[in-house]
Structure 1
Amino acid sequence: MWRLRGDYDNATTHLEQGLTLHRDIGHRNGEAEVLNELGQVFTETRGPAAAMSVYEEALKIARALSLPLEGAQALEGIARCHAKTANPEAALAGLREALTVYRRLGVPEERDAAGLLAELEGGSMPGQPV
């Protein structure tokens, strides 16, 4: 909610509290979910490098626990970070992998990931004129 309102300070505070709680009680699924949300906030506030490390942590947990949606969300987040740092090959690979999972699961995340993939395959980087 805070992130969607653009209140990144409150979003970070609440997400970090949630992350601590999930870790304290050993709820790894929740930890992966919160890390993906935190990655989105960090992308906006701390930049792609900080966000990428959070997404990579989420991906590691998602793979260890066989959580396909959380894993795909982490892959998409990592891909978006690569796109922001002008690394289109890594962005394309991550988006393709995430999109495969999204399609298999039939989730709405597919739409945004497919849009970014089409943009990158068209040769433009996000935020740059086509």
Structure 2
Amino acid sequence: MGLVYHALGKRTEALDYYNQALPIWREVSDRSGEATTLNNMGLVYHALGKRTEALDYYNQALPIWREVSDRSGEATTLNNMGLVYHALGKRTEALDYYNQALSISREVGNRSGEAMTLNNIGGVYDDWGNRTEALNYYNQALPIQREVGDRSGEAMTLNNIGGVYDDWGNRTEALNYYNQALPIQREVGDRSGEAI
């Protein structure tokens, strides 16, 4: 229920359900459920712009993922930590977490996680103004997103590639990528991405 409320943008309600679930997971000693809930709470706090709280929950989830040997969960949380550091403008730290997540995602064959992290690494290089390196990572992410059917991720990466070409002053190529992203964003109902 927390996931649904979060998806609906009702973050207070999401946290309410997560706060109800967390002690139950602990009571029944379900460490994976506990780590998932902690990670999800971190996502809500990140969405609320409360970065310190988000990191606190991610830092609680991470050792549990390691304890239960859930490498995919570990990679997801590391990627989420990278997102927080990126949002804080701490790009070096973000890149460190992204690279850890990427290595694990590749190790366990999590192609969706790999693509998401490649796109995020591209974003760091983009923010640094290293458009060539950003494009390299975006171009690695795009075929994987298509392979796994991640339409939202595909649209985001197409938009990011368009942004690189736009920054380079190649408006025709930028428009080509934006025109590929737009119908996908409409298809998946990403109104924010559509507006961007």
TM-score range, shorter chain: 0.7 to 0.9
Computed over aligned residues only, the root mean square deviation of the Cα atoms, in angstroms, reads 1.0
TM-score (norm 1): 0.82
Residue 161 of structure 2 is matched in structure 1 by 78
**1:51, 1:42 → 2: CA distance?**
5
Q: Which residue, out of 129, 134, 144, partners 1:61?
A: 144
Q: Which residue, out of 173, 177, 180, partners 1:90?
A: 173
Displacement after TM superposition at 1:99 (Å)? 1.1
**1:58, 1:74 → 2: CA distance?**
7
After superposition, the C-alpha distances for 1:41-76 in whole angstroms (9 at most, x for unaligned) are: 110125111100100100011112222111111111
TM-score (norm 2): 0.55
Amino acid at match of 2:130: G
Identical counterparts, % of pairs: 28
Give the SS at the match of 1:53.
helix
**2:109, 2:188 → 1: CA distance?**
26
**Ranges in structure 2 where 5+ consecutive residues have no aligned partner:** 1-83
**2:86, 2:133 → 1: CA distance?**
17
In terms of mean alpha carbon deviation, does 33-42 or 6-15 score higher?
33-42
Structure 1 residue ranges, 4+ long, deviating more than 3 angstroms after superposition: none
Aligned pair count reads 112
**2:183, 2:165 → 1: CA distance?**
18
Displacement after TM superposition at 1:87 (Å)? 0.6
Residue 110 of structure 1 is matched in structure 2 by 194
In terms of mean alpha carbon deviation, does 55-64 or 38-47 score higher?
38-47
In terms of mean alpha carbon deviation, does 66-75 or 3-12 score higher?
66-75
Give the SS at the match of 2:98.
helix
**1:111, 1:29 → 2: CA distance?**
25
Residue 101 of structure 1 is matched in structure 2 by 184
